[in-house]
Amino acid sequence: VNFVEHCLSLGAHCNYISCPVELRVKEHGSLTIECSYDKSYKNKDKYWCKGRRFWDCTILEDTRSSKNNHRISISDDKKKTYSVTMNDLTENDNGTYWCGIELFLKDKNCQMDIVVEKDLRINSNVEQATTNVSTVTVSSAHTTEIHNEIGTGIG
């Protein structure tokens, strides 16, 4: 049992935020990250940012005001989870990201790395196979659900 599960089982206020450590997704795929937080933060603003260091990361989207980013959206259930969805990922999206909660003087944060991989394509004179990961959904700190679409054709 990890810290968050143990803390929640006690019904305590844990003052935590949790997220996955690393996610891998195929180029042009999409993913949804669920950042879990202690219920004491339910009315705080949440955000999603990118950068090697938290203190100088670039905020890409937040719950306070929409940045009108057509590839990234954020929503908060106001209970214990906020979700970030990124669409049409490219190699430019590789990097370190942060789930953040805005607090007076010291924001809470959780770091993760996203790796966008080129499509795997196998070509031959007889058969061509293509594998694409279209969606990755993360529902807890260490659980990843992957949906694959596999197509083959004679070519």
Q: What is the CATH number of the domain that holds 111?
A: 2.60.40.10
Mean pLDDT of 56-85: 90
Is 76 a domain residue?
yes
Residues paired with residue 137 on neighbouring β-strands, in sequence order: 32, 145
Is 135 a domain residue?
no
Paired tokens of 68: 């009108």
Is 137 a domain residue?
no
Lowest average pLDDT, out of 5-19, 56-70, 88-102, 105-119, goes to 5-19
Residue 66, by phi and psi: left (phi above 0), alpha (psi -120 to 50) or beta? beta
Is 113 a domain residue?
yes
Q: Does pTM surpass 0.85?
A: no
Mean pLDDT of 64-76: 85
Residue 136 has a pLDDT of 46
Is 150 a domain residue?
no
13 compared with 69, residue with greater pLDDT: 69
Q: What is the pLDDT of residues 118-137, one digit of tens each?
A: 876 554 443 333 333 344 44
Is 70 a domain residue?
yes
Q: What is the pLDDT of residues 8-62, one digit of tens each?
A: 444 444 567 777 788 899 999 999 999 999 889 999 999 999 999 998 999 999 9
Residue 18 has a pLDDT of 79
Give how many domains the chain has, as a whole number: 1
Is 53 a domain residue?
yes
Contact present, 149 and 132 (Cβ < 8 Å): yes
Q: Is the pLDDT of residue 142 over 50?
A: no
In whole numbers, what is the pLDDT of the chain averaged over residues? 74
Task: Give me the domain span that covers residue 114.
Answer: 17-118
Is 108 a domain residue?
yes
